[in-house]
Structure 1
Amino acid sequence: MSLPATPTARDRRRWAQYLVDERAEARVYRELAARRSGEERAILLALADAEGRHEAHWLELLGGEPTRLPSPGIGTRMLAWMARRFGSIFVLALAQNAESRSPYDTEPYATARMAADEKVHSEVVRGLAARGRRRLSGTFRAAVFGANDGLVSNLALVMGIGATGVAPQFVLFSGVAGLLAGALSMGAGEFVSVRSQRELLDATQPSADAADALPDLDLDANELALVYRTRGMAEADALARARRVVHAAQTQDPSHPYGPEAADAHDHDVVGGAFGAAASSFLFFASGAIIPVLPWLFGLSGIPAVVIALALVGIALLATGATVGLLSGGPPLRRGLRQLAIGFGAAAVTYALGLVFGVSLA
C-alpha cells in the first residue's frame, strides 16, 4: 500500500492514539503478569514486550515523545481498571476481543509484522483465557445455571400464581417454597451429575499395572500396540509407537515418557468438584429465586409488585447473560438480551395461564 508523501495532522493524531493504547495494553499485561507465576507470567511479559515494540514504531513515526498525548480508548481503560481490581479471567476475555479487532490490518502506517503480531496475540490471549475458563468452568457453570434457573423459574411461578388473583401471602409462600424446593433439587442434581461425570473420567484413566509391566514385554510382539489402536492410531503407527515405548522402558530411558498416556489432565478441571458445584448451584439458585419474591416479601401486591419483580429480574438476567458473554468471549449485550428474552418469555406464558385459570376459578 502506498503511503501519502506527507503525513497529515490527522495521521499524527492517530499515531498518538495508537501509542497511548499500546502503552496501556502493555501495562495491562504487566499487571496481570504480576499476579501470575511460571509459564503464564512469562507469556504475559512477552506480550507486554511485543506491545513495547509497537509503541517504539509509533514513537519513531512521531519523531519522539509528543508534548501532548490523548487518553487511551475506553476499552483499553476498562481493561486496565479491571486488571487492577479483578481476576485475570474477565480481563483476558476482554483482551481477546480487543486483540481480534486490531486496526492495523487497514492502517497504512502499520507494518505487516505488526498486523501479524496482533493476530497471534489474539490466539495467545485466547489460550490463556481458555486455561482460566477450564479452571473455573465446573463451578461457574453450576453458579450461572443455578442463578438463571432461580430467576426464571421463580419469576414464572409467582407471575402465574399472582395472575390467578390469590392473596399476596399465598404468592409469597409459593415463592419461598419454590426457592427452597428448587435450590435443594438443583444442588442435589448437580452433585450427582458432577460426581458421576468424574467417576466416568476416572474409569477412563490408564491403569498403572500396564506401565509396570512394560519392561517385561516382548519388544517385537506385544499387546501395547492394541492400546494405541483403541485410541484411533493406525496399525503400523501403533506398533511403531509400542516398540519405542517398550524399548524406553527396558532401557530405563528417562528422556522418553513411556507407558500408556493418561487422559487429558484438564478433564477434571473442566468438570469441577461435586461439592463445590452442588454448593454453587444451591446458593446461586436461591440468590436468583429470592429476587422475584422481594416485592411480596416487603409487603407489596398487585401490579406494583409485578412491575418491580419484572424490573429486578430483568436487571439480574441482563447481568448473568453479560457475564457469560464476557467469559466466553462473546458479545455481552447480545447474551444479556437473550437471557432477558428467555426469562420474560417463560414468565409471560405462566402469567397468561394464571389469568386463564383465575378466570375459570372465579
Structure 2
Amino acid sequence: MVWAGCAVAAALMAAVTDLGPHRLWGLCATGGYAVAAALAAGAPPPRRRAAPFVAVAGAVVVPMVWLIAHRQGQLEVDVVHRSGALLLSTGGPYLPEPERIEDYHPYLPAMALFGLPHALLGDSPLADARWWFALVFCLALGVAARTVAGRCAPGGLAVMAAFPLPALALATGGVDLPVTALMCLALATAATGRPVATGLAAGAAAAMKWTAWPVLVVAPVLLAARRSGRAAAGACAVAATVLAGLIVPSVLVSPGAFVEQVLLYPLGAGRVASPAASPLPGHLIAALLPGGRPIALALLALAAVAVALSLAARPPGRCSWPPTGWPSPSSWPSAWRPPPASATS
C-alpha cells in the first residue's frame, strides 16, 4: 500500500506540474513505484525484498541520469556550479553585484564545495552537483544508521531515498538533502558519545545552510546528557572550528555580497525579491498581515526560545531507530537504545 500511495503521488505531480524536470520525475517514478507495489503485494519473499530497490531505480536513478545527461534540473544546481567556479577563482562563492535571482547564492559558503567538481571537470555529466549531493546524503545516513543501530541495512536506506520528497530532490537538485543527512549524523554521534564526530558533522551542516544551525544546540545538549558537559564543550569547539574554517574566508573576500545574499535576501530585504513561497504560517503571516514580516520573524524567535527552554527542561537522553510508533520493515534495524555512557567513554 505504501508504494501504491507513492505511485499516486508521483502521478499527480506529473499531471499538475508545469516544470519539465518535475513532470519527467513524476512519469518515471510512477512506473517505479507501481512495479515496487506489485512486488510488495504479490511476489514471493525474496522478490518482495527487491521492492525498495526497484522504487529507487524508478524514482531516483532513471530520472536523475536522464536529467543530468540532458542538463536539466532546478535552478539550485546551476547556482552551486557557478558558486564552485567563483570559489575556485576568487576565494568566495558570491557575485559582488547580483542583479537577478539567478545571480544569488543564498547559502553559506560550504555549499559551493559541491560545485568544485563542475569547476574542475567542466560541463561533464559526472561533474554534476547532484551526484555529490546524493553521495553525501547516502554516506551520512548510512554512517548515522550504523552508529546508532550497529549496522546499515541497504533496504532501509533504499526505503528512505525512494520516498517521493527525497527522491524528487535527488533527481532534480536537492541542496537540502546533504544538510539534513549531516544533521542526522551529528545527532547519531552525539547519542553515542562521540564529541569530535558530532562537532565535525554539525559544523559541516551548519556551514552550508542556516536551517542546520539548530543542530549546533541540540546535538551538544544530547551529548551532555549522554556523556558529559566536557564532551559537549569539545563538540562545540570542533563545530566552531569547522564553521570558522569554512565561512570566514569567504566572508573576508566579499563581506558585502555575503550580507546581501545570505542575510538580506532570505529575509526578503535584498535588492531582488525572493520567489520562495509556501502555504506555511510564516509565509502567510508575512504576505497577508500588515507588518507581517516583523511579526513572522518575532514568532520565529519565540519558537527558538521555546525550543531552548524545552531542551533545558527536558534534555534528550536517548536515541531509537526506528522512532517509537513507526512500523519496522524487515529491512530496517530493529529498535535500539544507545549503550551506557561508560561504554562509549
> If the length of structure 1 is used for normalisation, what is the TM-score?
0.24
TM-score relative to the length of structure 2 = 0.25
Q: Which of the two has greater helix per residue? A: 1
Higher relative contact order at CA 8 Å, sep ≥6: structure 1 or structure 2? Answer: 1
- Pick the structure with greater CA Rg: 1
